[in-house]
Amino acid sequence: MSREAHVRFCESVAVRFRRATRPPMERLFRSLKTEWIPRQGYRSLQETRQDVGEYLMGYYNRERVHSYNDYVTPEMQENLWQPPKLVSKNT
């Protein structure tokens, strides 16, 4: 879908997005289109689903570094994350 068609669709059904929610998805789809999807397209919907799934779960999450993650992969960032320690109120 072209950007113009997407905008017309969103306006026609009164879809409203907060500005902060759109850029990450737009960046993901731009990366998908420019880095992964072959120029000649796919032969079937099943082939498309399998290949895009491999891109997202394999390459995009496990191999591709992301600048907003300090140039580590999302999987590495998740493994580095430490949950906040809970403080008990036993006084």
Query: Is position 1 within any domain?
Result: no
Query: Is position 91 within any domain?
Result: no
Least confident of 1-15, 20-34, 46-60: 1-15
Query: Is position 74 within any domain?
Result: yes
Distance CA 74, CA 64 (A): 8
Cβ 32 vs Cβ 55: under 8 Å: yes
**What are the tens digits of pLDDT across the range 33-56?**
888 888 778 889 999 899 888 888
Query: Is position 6 within any domain?
Result: no
Give percent of the chain with pLDDT exceeding 70.
76
Query: Is position 3 within any domain?
Result: no
Query: Is position 66 within any domain?
Result: yes
Number of domains, the chain: 1
Query: Is position 85 within any domain?
Result: no
Segments forming the whole domain that contains residue 40: 22-80
Distance CA 83, CA 64 (A): 24
pTM: 0.52
